[in-house]
Amino acid sequence: MATPYIVIGCPTTGGGKVISGNSSFLIEGKAIACVGDKATCPKHQTVSTIITGDPYMQVFGKAAARVNDSLSCGCKLLPMQNLAVQDNGPSSSSKAASNTFAPTSTLLKQDNFVADKPKEYGIQFQLKDEQTQKIYSDIPYSIIYKNSGEVETGWTDSEGKTHVINANSPDEVEFQTIDASKPLPPL
């Protein structure tokens, strides 16, 4: 049996709504509510605190609120979504119910999480005389990748710099200037 988690806007048995949550964890674009978050309660004419939650689903150290969890006024929380639920196992007769966070949809997007970006590696060379600090612009060069043997060529810019060499994995490169006084071999 699956028990939905509570988000901002979910109703309560006292006719109120959940009014606070943790916006770092969104379900269908709405912040998840946890123990300590608030809900209005017209029945008891108060703003109540969520006092129970799922001990196995912690959001920054606070138990996530579920359907039928309690408010400080005695009312209960009601569902508004069923995308993210607590899975209590195959049935209520199961001897060992598991409390694991399980999405109910195989099309669950991870729009609410930061994707792991692949590492990028890069280098740029500058031709400069070590003693005089004179910059060498318009010098032809080649860069040879040691692992793949790939060769890139170009001309240094007005600051004596090569183009930026980017890669998705570390690689050793060899930088060579080309003697422009001789004709270049055909490509």
Does residue 109 belong to any structural domain of this protein? no
> Which pLDDT score is estimated for 87?
61
Is residue 22 assigned to a domain? yes
Query: For residue range 71-82, what is the model confidence (pLDDT) as tens digits?
Result: 999 999 998 876
Assigned domain for 91 exists: no
Q: How confident is the model at residue 97 (pLDDT cuts 50, 70, 90)?
A: very low
Domain's final residue, options 77, 110, 133: 77
Residue 10: pLDDT band (50, 70, 90) is very high
Which domain does 29 fall in, by range? 10-77
* Same domain, residue pair 15 and 69: yes
**73 lies in the same domain as 125:** no
Average pLDDT over residues 34-43: 96
For residue range 122-157, list pLDDT tens digits in order: 778 888 887 888 888 888 888 888 888 888 888 889
The whole-number average pLDDT for the span 42-64 is 92
Q: Which amino acid is at 11?
A: P
Nearest to 105 by CA among 87, 83, 130: 83
Q: Compare 59 and 35 and report the one with higher pLDDT.
A: 35
- Top pLDDT among 79 and 86 is at 79
Give the C-alpha distances (Å, rounded to integers) separating 87 from 65, 69, 81, 158.
Answer: 14, 15, 15, 64
What's the angle, vertex CA 22, arms to CA 60 and CA 100, rounded to 5? 60
In a domain, residue 26? The reply is: yes
Report the domain count for the chain. Answer: 2
Query: Is 149 a domain residue?
Result: yes
Domain end: 77, 104, 129, which one? Answer: 77
- Does the reported pTM lie above 0.75? no
CATH of the domain at 22: 2.60.200.60
Higher pLDDT, 171 or 164: 164
- Name the H helices within 37-77: none
Query: What was the pLDDT predicted at 46?
Result: 94
- Band (pLDDT 50/70/90 cuts) for residue 117 is low
Structural domain includes residue 46: yes
Last residue of a domain, one of 22, 52, 77: 77
Give the C-alpha separation, 28 to 15, whole Å.
23
Give the per-residue pLDDT at 49.
96
Evaluate if residue 158 carries a pLDDT over 80.
yes
Average pLDDT of the chain, as a whole number = 79
Residue 128 within a domain: yes
Assigned domain for 172 exists: yes
Residue 109, pLDDT > 60, answer no
